[in-house]
Amino acid sequence: MIGGLGSKPAVQLPHYKYIELSNGNWRTNEHSMYNLSSRKWSNPSIIGQCIPPASHFIIEKINNTRAILFGGVETYDDAKETTTNNIYILEISISTVFWQCIKKPEAIYMYQWPVSRFNHAGAIIITGSDCPMLVISGGLDKNDDTLNDCWILNITQHSWIK
């Protein structure tokens, strides 16, 4: 489990952020892992460019040790909510999550990139060439307008196709 939106946490763990929003809800970037063998929860160590407190994103499994997170709503220290179109690649082990953030290139006129969104759908497709693709569809934009588009991300090349 990563992040989320909810009531005030009973315990705020070090190394994670917890931000109270103007409506009284809290957003966090806390990580929790459940070990199926031991049936115990733990909080892994975080390395790299961890997502800020966030919710309403998608996270999809690429393989047994990697996942991809896209979009959602992020909150920074000023408690301002921002809809995002950032991509995060996660490398996951038993006790550690390594984060890599991939942002929209500055020279966007050379690249296609989906608009920021939340409450969207996503899935991973493995092609015959074993190149994983993330498919995203729909959601809401920063103005809460419904999106009805579909995008495919080549995860290896970080390139989008609409």
Q: What is the pLDDT of residues 98-151, one digit of tens each?
A: 999 998 877 656 678 999 999 999 999 987 777 899 999 999 999 999 999 999
The pLDDT of residue 94 is 86
CB 30 within 8 A of CB 43: yes
The pLDDT of residue 109 is 63
Give this prediction's pTM. Answer: 0.91
**75 beta partners:** 81
Residue 83 in this model has a pLDDT that exceeds 90: yes
Q: What is the mean pLDDT of the chain?
A: 92
User: Binning pLDDT at 50, 70 and 90, where does residue 33 land?
Assistant: very high
The pLDDT of residue 108 is 59
Q: b vs e for 125-162, b when ≥16 Cβ sit within 10 Å of the residue's Cβ?
A: eeeeeeebebebbebbbeeeeebeeebebebeeeebee
The pLDDT of residue 123 is 98
What residue type is assigned to position 91 of the chain? E
Distances (CA, A) of 1 to 29, 35, 105, 144: 9, 12, 28, 25
The pLDDT of residue 110 is 60
The pLDDT of residue 80 is 86
What residue type is assigned to position 120 of the chain? H
What residue type is assigned to position 124 of the chain? I
Cα 136–Cα 139–Cα 144 angle in degrees, nearest 5: 150
For domain 2-161, is the CATH number 3.30.56.10? Answer: no
Pairing state between β 96-102 and 45-48? parallel
> In the predicted model, what is the mean pLDDT of residues 47-62?
95
> In the predicted model, what is the mean pLDDT of residues 60-67?
95
CB 72 within 8 A of CB 121: no
The pLDDT of residue 112 is 87
Q: What percent of the chain clears pLDDT 70, i.e. is strictly above it?
A: 97
Q: d(Cα 38, Cα 42) in Å, to the nearest integer? A: 11
Least confident of 49-58, 62-71, 82-91, 110-119: 110-119
